[in-house]
Amino acid sequence: MEIEILVVTHGRIAEELINTLKIIMGPAPALDFFPVRKDLPAEQIKKDYKRLTGTILQKKALLILTDLLGGTPTNISMPLLEKDNVEIITGVNLPMLIKAVHKRKSVKNVKKLAEILETAGKKSVLNCRDYIDRY
């Protein structure tokens, strides 16, 4: 089953991550974003999000990348974990997103892809002084 990647963040973070990814990698199909905007009522955000994810899940597995554990983007996504074809990774960063788009071509299982991204996200955060001192 094809895997859709949905980046869900506060404000425009998701949109800008995807724009930056496209500068680096070029077009990326089955990649979308959902901005949680503070100028919209919570019920409208939930309604719009449910409509978007429902449409995706009719045909694809869904990997959701969110910005912050405990934040609205993650909280509105959590109920989707009732479905077997949904995984959520929080703490999205650019290296993780690039890895997701690259690996999705060869990894067709959303759970396996989520495992790979969790590891990639953790490995991409480092202190540059420590890195230089080691190498």
Q: Into how many domains does the chain fold?
A: 1
Pairing label, strands 31-36, 3-10 = parallel
User: Rounded CA gap, 115 and 29, in Å?
Assistant: 21
What pLDDT score was predicted for residue 113?
97
DSSP-assigned letters across all residues of 67-133: S-TTSHHHHHHGGGGGSTTEEEEES--HHHHHHHHHHTTT---HHHHHHHHHHHHHHT---HHHHHH
What pLDDT score was predicted for residue 28?
95
pLDDT digits (tens, 9 = 90+) for 44-83: 999 999 999 999 999 999 999 999 999 999 999 999 999 9
Q: Dihedral sign for Cα 91, 95, 99, 100, please.
A: positive
User: Rounded CA gap, 3 and 29, in Å?
Assistant: 10
What pLDDT score was predicted for residue 1?
82
The whole-model pTM stands at: 0.95
User: Rounded CA gap, 73 and 10, in Å?
Assistant: 7
Residues of the chain with pLDDT under 70: none
Count other C-beta atoms under 10 Å from residue 109's C-beta: 13
What pLDDT score was predicted for residue 104?
93
CATH number at residue 118: 3.40.50.510
CA angle 112, 121, 58 (to 5 degrees): 45
Among residues 34, 2, 8, which one has the least CA distance to residue 101? 2
What pLDDT score was predicted for residue 48?
97
Q: Are 69 and 90 in contact (CB under 8 A)?
A: yes
Q: Dihedral sign for Cα 7, 48, 1, 77, please.
A: positive
Q: Which domain holds residue 39?
A: 3-134
